[in-house]
Chains A and B, each alone.
Chain A
Amino acid sequence: MGWPPPVLDPAGPYAAGITALAWALAVMALLVTLFVVFTIGVALLGSPAARKWWGGERLIWLGGVAAPAGVLTALLVWSLSLTADLTHASRGDEQVIRVTGEMWWWRVAYLDGEGTEFLHDANEIHIAAGRPVLLELTSSDVIHSFWVPRLGGKADMIPGRTNYLRLIADQPGVYKGQCAEYCGGPHALMGLVVVAHPPGELDALLEARTRPPPRPVSEEARFGAQVFDRSGCGACHTVRGTSARGLAGPDLTWVGARRTLGAGILPNNRGTLAGWVANSQDIKPQNRMPPYAQLSGRELRAISAYLETLE
């Protein structure tokens, strides 16, 4: 399913820089370790001449002061050049998306040119391949961290503060992510999906999603909409075009089109939809949605049929 996501497999320029740094640091650490082990070996087992040469003051100045100063300075310059751009505020040409960390899901809002939120969604972020994306990151409760390793580095989502993170996906595809700052409870089950579309497709998709989904057609789905309504789901969830306007939980207007459920942790099909609604606590313990054990088998299947039509 691609989750947890691979960490050293960059698919964009920001991630590529971080991966290069990671490998460089790892190799450097290995070389330094080998050198230190070698000198310990000389100190313990070497001939007096060798010990005198290796233990002399010149080597300590060279190997202990000059070399580290040089290498670390070079590393600092290199890493700053790779990462300074990552958190820069908007330059005007990016797609801007506001992502708010929640316990334990992601509230997504797409911003237009004037900075107004024109579309709300959850847990899945749609971008255009090859185009820079600026994420405005914040949190509504505790500190979370946005991390899609193939596209960029981690950025903390801090309540009361907006952090910026740039991403670019070189190729269209699906990129999985993970919350990277312990946020209590099922933090390890707080995954994320970023979908990069071929150029030209994204605007039409987002525009279509600002309109409410079509009404359910099949008898089972219509029954499911009734069960959804009378079970009070609208108190926490929004389905645009219906009376469901809750904001406490993820927006479900397009849940049928999402590639995953539960924030990146389950595939999305009729079965998992039913399983999540019936008892999400067994899947993601302590998440904020209660079990719905009072639904009969037919009602459960009907709700899953209805949710599947929201696409």
Chain B
Amino acid sequence: MRARFSFTRQVPLLGLLFLAGCKPVDADPHPMPGADAGRGRAIVQATGCASCHVIPGISWPKGRVGPSLEGFAGRALLPGGHVNSPENLTGFVKDAPAYAPDGGMPPIPLSEAEARDVAAFLYTLEPG
């Protein structure tokens, strides 16, 4: 009887179908629907965040009170050991002492929408 199912040929081909379930390599690890990173950058500039942080794209000032934000998008943790997620980052930007009670970063006067935009901007700061 003629073989209809060939292991050597059809299993690998079937195996390829499983790859469709994999997440594409360039998928956004920190999706923030509705947030505008461009607006976030403008808010960062207007609020003076660079007075404490080195921020790529902002030439002055280059504050060193807090950590540099170069490569921030690749950071796994926020101060205080919190996961670097959009929700945590948005909350942190507005009220850092709630997440890091001994830290030097004070609460920053931003609305929820502004904080989301700032978080979206921070997630564009890729490492390297």
A-side residues, CB < 8 A to B, are 1, 266-267, 269-276, 278-279, 282-283, 296-298, 300-301, 304-305
A274 and B52 form a contact (CB under 8 A): yes
A275 and B102 form a contact (CB under 8 A): no
From A266, A275, A282, residue with most partner B Cβ within 10 Å: A275
CB contacts (< 8 Å) of A273 on chain B: these are: 106
CB contacts (< 8 Å) of B124 on chain A: these are: none
B-side residues, CB < 8 A to A, are 46-49, 51-52, 61-65, 97, 100-109
B61 and A297 form a contact (CB under 8 A): no
* 4 closest A-B pairs by CB: A275-B51, A297-B104, A270-B106, A275-B52
A282 and B62 form a contact (CB under 8 A): yes
With known contacts A274-B106, A282-B62, A269–B52 Cβ distance under 8 A: no
B64 and A270 form a contact (CB under 8 A): no
Q: Out of A271, A276, A296, A298, name the residue touching B108 (CB < 8 Å).
A: A271
Q: Give the residue name and chain of the B residue nearest to A272 (CB).
A: B48
From B62, B65, B97, residue with most partner A Cβ within 10 Å: B65
Q: Give the residue name and chain of the B residue nearest to A291 (CB).
A: B65
The answer for the CA separation of A304 and B108 in the assembled complex, in Å, is: 11
B62 and A305 form a contact (CB under 8 A): no
The answer for the CA separation of A266 and B103 in the assembled complex, in Å, is: 22
The answer for the CA separation of A301 and B52 in the assembled complex, in Å, is: 13
Known contacts A273-B106, A275-B63, A282-B65, then 4 further A-B pairs from the complex at CB < 8 Å, ordered by chain A residue: A270-B109, A272-B48, A275-B48, A279-B64
CB contacts (< 8 Å) of B63 on chain A: these are: 275, 279, 282-283
B51 and A266 form a contact (CB under 8 A): yes
